[in-house]
Structure 1
Amino acid sequence: MKAKTIIVTGASTGIGKAIAQLFLQKGYNVVINAANAANLEATYKELGNPDRLAMVAGDISQASTGQLLVDTAVERFGAVDVLVNNAGIFEARPFLEVDEAHLDRFLSVNLKGTFFTSQAAIRQMLQQEEGAIINIGTVLVDHAIGGFPATAPVASKGGIHALTRQLATEFGRNNIRVNGIAPGIIRSPLQTKNGISDADSLAGLHVLDRIGETKDVAAMALYLAGSNFVTGEIINLDGGHVSGHHFN
């Protein structure tokens, strides 16, 4: 069987890197993206498998970046079978301190980036009569935390959740499956960027009393990429964050 091809945005670190690594291990062709070209090149070298790996540096908020990713996948490997919209930014800021420029950053990178990269991929998937898109959202859309004010990124991720269901419905008859993963607290560089030096201290937010690992998200992405009868779902990969809380 011909190897399938996946595009992973935001793949130089954290969740995106873990997804790219797992799919390479499973025999996929992989196209990775990140805004930071130096970080992306370092990851490209670390992942190895240059015969099945391509990289495209660029800001995903620019529609041209998404189109270049698709063009690269088709020119190098002949198809776009899976797109993982992982690239995104997250930052806590009190609602009353959010100005227009701050909000626009999250809408541009998170929502607009997912929107237009999906658009480029779906055009190609329609020609192939099949495809899968996996969007990375957040469990905070369904279960907010009062002590963690993050209205701008959560609003943008809420748009991604809505977009996921709409695209699944709009293109279901074309055998294009669109799902989302809503992670809880995952051990990744994102925690450090948000000033959280000890991510394990947040374990109590989950009924399993532990945080997740990037490999957990990668495993879910692999399942969704291979499933031919799951679409329109937002899967909470959250250690039970949404389902309940301990009383202590």
Structure 2
Amino acid sequence: MSQASILSGVQGLKSARRALLVIAHPDDESMFFAPTLHVLHNQGAVVRILCLSNGDGDGLGVIREKELLAACRVLQIPTQNVTIVNHPQLQDGMARAWPAEAVAHQVEQQLKQHPCDTVFTFDAHGVSGHLNHRGVHHGVRLLLESQGRQLGVQAGWQLVSERLLHKYGCLLSAPLSALLLRPGQALVTSARVWASVRAMAAHKSQWVWYRKLFVMLSSYTYVNRLQPMALG
């Protein structure tokens, strides 16, 4: 097995050549989507990241923008492929609900400027239930269901939110995910754990003890289970 591979999946994931990952905050890419990013890099896909806020909830937005670019360098994503949005309706905050229309507009503009065949984002629960993560899902879903194919998107994938025991299953994550895999879902895994840790560590302002523990124990460091999204 290569350092990052698709254990189970469908052609829509394996054929991704121009991929867009839509996230809510700087560090989402490293905490949750690293296995998917490793797989995309391995298969030669051009990866872009659209981050819909600069994570300014604690007044650290400028710092966190720089940290995201540093993390993307670790993940071998060129800095010119990273777009960070700072919009009044899309501000970082646990209690801030993001309008689906505002999210959809930002993603639409990104896809028009940089066409992509595959889009990745959170599912409706957003891994942790964070309102911003959930808002990203609803906005991406709104866009893909209304005009995904018109924008050239051939596949959309949402990261499955795992239950608590599975979420912190560490090295047992891959076999557990394989057991839970449903028809149509894709399962990607990565042995590049150190690269994922280094990417998260690049977010120095966020690299506190509980996030260090999260990265080591979290299933999302080792495996991503992906569910297809409907396209219209």
TM normalised by structure 1 equals: 0.46
TM normalised by structure 2 equals: 0.48
Give the number of the structure with larger relative contact order, counting CA–CA contacts within 8 Å between residues 6 or more apart: 2
